[in-house]
Amino acid sequence: FLLDNKLRRAVDRGEFVLHYQPKRDMTTGQVCGLEALIRWNSPEDGLVAPGKFIPMLEETGLILEVGAWAFGQAALERQRWQATGMPTPRIAVNVSAIQIRRADFVQSVVNAVQAVGASLEGIDLEVTESLLMEDVSGSIEKLEDLRNLGVNVAIDDFGTGYSSLYYLARLPVQFLKIDGSFIYTMTASGHSKMIVSTIISLAHALGMRVIAEGVETREQQQLLEAMHCDEMQGYLFSRPLPAEQLAPFLLQPG
Ligand code: G
Ligand code: G
Ligand code: MN
Ligand code: NA
């Protein structure tokens, strides 16, 4: 209950920040997108990772408020970079089950960016596969509304849930993100390597682009290149960075 109160206060005081992890286009070598990853800048505890507070935000329902804030903040920061003439890749925002299950989810995203005087231009989202499979018809409808607003959708942590391939083909989704656990074990395990290459083929057959997450070594990158993976994300390319450290990164040539 203590954390509960601290989080309520954190929401009221605006103690959350977004860090941005660049995604690299494996063909051009350039930054082709950013993933927004929330942190809690706590006066008592410093920068707190999302694993430590997202579950509590979900339990208390505060995730609705914070999740909406994340969309507004990402749209606003992107608009500010754009105004300074900086290259402005698309930004993907993570969403929780509790957010997307709500009938007013799409409208809440639209409202959140309008409230800060920004637009949805260049904003995408990431959602886990189990979440979409929970309510396929409801998901399809919302994802289609989002696509009509120019928002791309990535299925996050792909390979760890229970996807129905039947439904996967029907979801209006543009990206699959291969879970980092497969990338991590890929160089040692023939199984993981086979799973990764199969996911890449599957995604391409369905007309989706593939993002490998958690890429930490050159060896992993080279394997992924040989498998025609489209994008990579991970410490090898860049850690998640605060907005003010991103500028030099976005300006560097591939
Ligand atoms: O670095 P990392 O510790 O940033 O993120 C851990 C987890 O927290 C990831 O699974 C990520 O999807 C989730 N996460 C990060 N930012 C957000 C956010 O703004 N909203 C939600 N719902 N989840 C987030
Ligand atoms: O949203 P998602 O569950 O995909 O969150 C991505 C998580 O992976 C974040 O916690 C992020 O900080 C973390 N991450 C990003 N790159 C790497 C990496 O190269 N290695 C590891 N171990 N974690 C990473
Ligand atoms: Mn993600
Ligand atoms: Na993930």
Residue 94 in contact with ligand 2 by CB distance below 6 A: yes
Domain annotation covers residue 83: yes
Containing 123, the helix (H) or strand (E) segment is strand 123-128
Residue 72 in contact with ligand 2 by CB distance below 6 A: no
What pLDDT is recorded for position 253?
Answer: 60
Domain annotation covers residue 254: no
Domain annotation covers residue 253: no
Quick: pLDDT tens for 172-230: 999 999 999 999 999 998 899 999 999 999 999 999 999 999 999 999 999 999 999 99
Quick: pLDDT tens for 95-154: 998 999 999 999 999 999 999 999 999 999 999 988 788 888 888 999 999 999 999 999
Residues in the ligand 1 pocket, defined by CB under 6 Å: 37-38, 49-51, 54, 67, 70, 94-96, 240
Domain annotation covers residue 107: yes
Alpha-carbon Rg for the chain, nearest whole angstrom, is 18
Provide mean pLDDT across the span 159-170. 85
CATH of the domain at 116: 3.20.20.450
| 163 pLDDT above the threshold of 90 | no
Q: How far apart are CA 142 and CA 158, in angstroms?
A: 20
For atom 4 of ligand 1, which residue has the closest CA? 37
Domain annotation covers residue 43: yes
Domain tally, the chain: 1
| 1 pLDDT above the threshold of 70 | no
Query: What's the 160 CA to ligand 4 centre distance in angstroms?
Result: 9
Quick: pLDDT tens for 50-105: 999 999 999 999 999 999 999 999 999 999 999 998 889 999 999 998 999 999 99
Amino acid at 62: L
Rounded to 5 degrees, what are φ and ψ at 2? -65, -45
Q: Is the ipTM of this complex over 0.90?
A: yes
Domain annotation covers residue 209: yes
For tokens 């993570």, the residue is 94
Q: How far apart are CA 78 and CA 55, in angstroms?
A: 27
Domain assignment of residue 175, given as a range: 2-248
Question: Average pLDDT of the chain?
Answer: 93
Q: Give one DSSP letter per residue of 223-254, joined into a string.
A: HHHHTT--EE-STTT---EEGGGTHHHHHS--
Domain annotation covers residue 174: yes
